[in-house]
Amino acid sequence: MLCPEVWNFKAPKHQLNIINTCIKKAEINTTIKNHYNNHSVSVVIPNSKNIPEVLIDSILEDSDYYKVEGVTASQLVNKEFIEAFVKKGELSLLSVNVKIDLDNVITITPNGILILSLNIEDFQSLGIEGKLSYFDRNKQTRYVVEINLNEETFTPGKKNYERVRSCLENNLKQKFDVVLSWDPPDDKLCPSSVASWFYNQGNKVSLCHQKTSKLVHYSLDVPTLEDGYKAEDIFEWIGILSIDGDMKNKDTENYVNSYVCPKPNTPVDQVFHFECTGYFSRSKINKIYELIKTLISNDNELQTPWMSLHIHGFADSPISWSTKEHNYYTDGDNSLTIIFHSNENAIVQKSLSSNSKPRIFQ
């Protein structure tokens, strides 16, 4: 039996949005602020002697987050919790150890929206209005419930609040493991206050630290942003570098690896790749972005033709960009990559692949 030509199978469709912009504009800041659940941050710096310590410190400083076990949805509508952490500062919360296409998943956005992605059995027994999942509208097996915790009328004594609290307390008793991060509105307030609140509620709370990795690649050809470059090729090059792929192949007919560096390119002595994985709030990502803007604009700080920042979301988050519904399908990708040019221009690639599920599976 002959082996099938598996390399001729088409890859799953990914919807990528690529734009050229200027880092002085607020466009990139807006994009970052619309991505709430960030799982990893990675930086690539070509032709630099080292990764600036100020950048590593910025990524790791105040980056601890918390894992809370046994959280019920009714705890998240507790008025004390809402007043202390949802309405003051920015709270980011996401359930973990669950699958978006199989399990119930919850999240709280920094602007105070509690989102529950539920299977049909739990939704029907819940008693709260929701909408059919876009990705399961034919099978009708999943529903999405959104509750605005910041509404003035969402308060004890009001009919809507009491009904929602009662439904969550009596009809959705599932316990979730969540990760969370709270950015207080005042430096005098401690971010760990939210962890203390859950601890006092009887939940098991763990302090989590970001996991880091650093790779240095020597004597590489690096794509340049000169005339004739293709943005898609540079983003692909960054992706292969980040997984420590073979970057030195010169033969396009190589059976094992046919990838070669795209043109135009230039040889450099070394390329640094630094990655940090855990849970990042949008405000933390924005601080990292602002620092890289400063570094790339200062020619004396970094002798590099360009620099990249990649932000990867959680594959099983119920939302991707803003409150847009998210689905796993083949890989659950929802990510953002920014290439900073030394002339203050930038190329931004936003992945929307999770929102382009084929019709036959809907």
Closest CA to 244 of 268, 272, 276: 272
Rounded CA separation 37/115 (Å): 13
Whether 361 is in a domain gets the answer no
Q: How many CB atoms lie within 10 A of CB 56?
A: 16
Whether 289 is in a domain gets the answer yes
pLDDT for position 225: 86
Residues 104 and 21 grouped into a single domain: no
Whether 28 is in a domain gets the answer yes
Whether 186 is in a domain gets the answer yes
41-66: pLDDT as tens digits: 999 999 877 778 888 888 888 889 99
Partners of 306 in the β-ladder: 341
With helix as H, strand as E and coil as C, how does 100-128 read? CCCCCEEEECCCCEEEEEEEHHHHHHHCC
Whether 235 is in a domain gets the answer yes
Residues 255 and 330 grouped into a single domain: yes
Closest CA to 32 of 293, 336, 326, 352: 336
Closest CA to 213 of 271, 277, 278, 285: 277
Is residue 339 within 8 Å of 234, Cβ to Cβ? Answer: yes
Q: Which helix (H) or strand (E) holds 60?
A: helix 53-60
**Verdict on whether the full-model pTM lies above 0.85:** yes
pLDDT for position 3: 60
State the residue range of the domain holding 241: 14-62+211-353
Whether 202 is in a domain gets the answer yes
Q: What's the angle, vertex CA 272, arms to CA 270 and CA 274, rounded to 5? A: 170
Residues 238 and 345 grouped into a single domain: yes
Residues 35 and 105 grouped into a single domain: no
Whether 9 is in a domain gets the answer no
Beta strands 204-208 and 65-71 are antiparallel
Question: pLDDT by residue for the chain (362 residues), tens digit each?
Answer: 456 665 666 666 677 889 999 988 889 999 999 999 999 999 999 987 777 888 888 888 888 999 999 999 999 999 999 999 999 999 999 999 999 989 999 999 999 999 999 999 999 999 999 999 988 877 888 999 999 999 999 999 999 999 999 999 999 999 999 999 999 998 888 999 999 999 999 999 999 999 999 888 888 889 988 888 899 999 999 999 988 887 777 666 666 677 888 888 888 989 999 999 999 999 999 999 999 988 887 755 567 889 999 999 999 999 999 999 988 777 788 899 999 988 889 999 998 766 655 554 54
Name the 3-class secondary structure at 254. coil
The structural domain count of the chain equals 2
Q: How many CB atoms lie within 10 A of CB 83?
A: 12
Q: Taking the mean position of all CA atoms in its chain, how far away is CA 38?
A: 3
Residues 192 and 239 grouped into a single domain: no
